[in-house]
Amino acid sequence: MTDSASSSSLSTMQKVLLLVSALVLAVSLFLVRNGGSIESPLDQLARRSLSPEVALSNGRPTILEFYADWCEVCREMAPAMLEVEQSHSADLDVVLVNIDNPRWLDLTDRYDVTGIPQLNLFSADGTMRGRSLGARTETELNSIANALIDGSPIPALTGVGSTSALPQTALADSTGPRSHS
């Protein structure tokens, strides 16, 4: 009976060691994948974001990204956006706005957010220069960032468009897409 008890005990100890090893491996892989940070790139960007009001009035060009935590494309694009934010931190603001936060409902309405990720692109004086809808690679994000910083034309990419100001009379006479008038 002693042999049976010790072999059962050994089996339990092996299971515990296997479980501990698996947990250590999982945590290690997570940390390596996220650059040593437990926070995801999307969470890092959101945490470090200025408020949109500050970013649009501080004299620096701004990329305003509308996103959601559940958005797979937003999460996939986040490492590239984080890299762009870090490499251009002295010249450009990257601001994340979570569309699920009721605090930002006025912004999602004002900028007609119809899909995510949506990037609204602003010059240093806070004027909207363009909009991008959908996933962007790091190369595309860098070319957009460089155009905003240099004041050069926004790159012609699929899903990216420039904007122009409407005369104030046209704004007063128009009905919105949700007015059903």
Question: Of the candidates 44, 45, 40, which has an alpha carbon nearest to the alpha carbon of residue 65?
Answer: 45
- Integer-rounded Cα Rg, in Å, for the chain is 24
Question: Of the candidates 160, 157, 138, 53, which has an alpha carbon nearest to the alpha carbon of residue 97?
Answer: 53
Considering 56, 64, 71, 116, which one is annotated as catalytic? 71
Considering 45, 74, 113, 119, which one is annotated as catalytic? 74
74 is catalytic: yes
145 is catalytic: no
Kindly list the catalytic residues: 71, 74
